[in-house]
């Protein structure tokens, strides 16, 4: 019996790290989903900067809704109109950072920071936004369902 107990303990000692590692891996989004979502975030920012309404049509779900501060929520068409009206400003760049990605089945939430750089009246201007974006997977592709953004006030 003592030999059986030692064999069982040894087997558990060897397999426990693998079991624990696999449990943690299952809790994390797959790198494939993370890569696809990060690319989609970058494509979205680029489409806004280029005023590319067609690209935004593909990125945003038909039921898309966005909220900014305490303003009225914007549906897909109003959002696209707001971000594509007028000529594109070639001085605008956006940096996405501090992203946390949570994937559960066919739903993903990204919380991150979008720092917008541009020239305003000939001077550099920087505004940072805290974003929460919800994505859903439809037909094997991720699309944006909702976005909430708030200006991060400098401290």
**pLDDT for residue 19:** 38
Residue 136 clears pLDDT 80, i.e. is over it: yes
**pLDDT for residue 52:** 97
Helix, strand, coil distribution of the chain in percent, nearest 5: 40, 40, 20
What whole-number distance in Å separates Cα of residue 83 and Cα of residue 15?
53
For 86-103, give the DSSP string.
S---TT-EEEEEEEEEEE
pLDDT in tens, 59-70: 999 999 999 987
For residues 128 and 12, the model is more confident at 128
Q: Which CATH architecture has domain 29-151?
A: Roll (3.10)
**8 is written with which tokens?**
């069982």
Q: Within a 13 Å sphere around the CA of 33, how many CA atoms are in the beta-carbon half?
A: 19
Question: Are 96 and 113 contacting, i.e. CB atoms less than 8 angstroms apart?
Answer: yes
Q: What is the pTM of this model?
A: 0.77
Max CA distance (Å), the chain = 83
Question: Which residues touch 155 (CB under 8 Å, ≥6 apart)?
Answer: none
Residue 101 clears pLDDT 90, i.e. is over it: yes
Q: Give residue 123's Cα distance to chain centre.
A: 30
**122 is written with which tokens?**
């000939």
* Boundaries of every domain in the chain: 29-151
Residue 8 clears pLDDT 50, i.e. is over it: no
Mean per-residue pLDDT of the chain: 84
Q: Which string of b and e fits 45-64 if b means at least 16 CB within 10 Å?
A: bebbbebbeebbeebbbeeb
Question: Are 92 and 49 contacting, i.e. CB atoms less than 8 angstroms apart?
Answer: yes
């Amino acid at each position: 019996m003592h030999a059986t107990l030692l064999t069982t303990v040894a087997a558990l000692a060897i397999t426990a790290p693998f079991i624990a590692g696999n449990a943690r891996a299952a809790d994390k989004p797959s790198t494939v989903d993370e890569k696809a979502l990060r690319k989609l975030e970058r494509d979205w920012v680029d489409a806004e900067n280029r005023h590319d309404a067609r690209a935004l049509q593909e990125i945003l779900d038909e039921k898309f809704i966005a909220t900014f501060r305490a303003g009225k929520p914007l549906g897909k068409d109003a959002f696209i109109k707001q971000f594509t009206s007028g000529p594109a400003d070639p001085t605008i760049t956006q940096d996405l950072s501090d992203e946390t990605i949570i994937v559960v089945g066919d739903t993903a939430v990204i919380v991150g920071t979008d720092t917008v750089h541009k020239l305003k009246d000939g001077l550099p201007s920087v505004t940072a936004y805290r974003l929460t974006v919800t994505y859903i997977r439809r037909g094997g592709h991720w699309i944006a369902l909702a976005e909430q953004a708030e200006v991060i006030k400098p401290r």
